[in-house]
Amino acid sequence: MNQHTPGPWYETTKGENNYQSAIAQEATGKTVALTYTSNDADARLIAAAPQLLAALKSLVLSTDGIVSGPESDLCACCGKDYIDEQIRREEAGEDCIYECTDPDCPRVQAMQAIAQATGEQVPR
């Protein structure tokens, strides 16, 4: 799998009529992307991509998935209770789950964004 060009990146040049920006790698000055829009926010967002990806990875690694307690199995991020699901799985002889699956959970959304950015399989 290909790796992205390491950051940090920055917005560098404006083209004709301010509709083109180059995004370059800070260490080498190598162009990694071109944008064709008058919206500077798009270029800034693209330039911030390596830092955003690194921050999401750190956030996911520093937060727990499902935390078991005496009367509940809660997602440490969104608070969804999985105790009934865990009991059902145990009775059916299935493995317990250790990660939240709620699409509204910020941790799940972060893992999905990481998978999209890296080309990995989206966690289910």
Would you state the pLDDT for residue 1? 52
CA gap 22, 30 in Å, rounded:
10
Q: What is the pTM (predicted TM-score) of this model?
A: 0.78
Would you state the pLDDT for residue 97? 84
Residue 6 has pLDDT above 90, yes or no: no
Average pLDDT over residues 82-88: 88
On average, the pLDDT of the chain sits at 86
CA gap 87, 96 in Å, rounded:
9
Is-contact 55 38, C-beta < 8 A? Answer: no
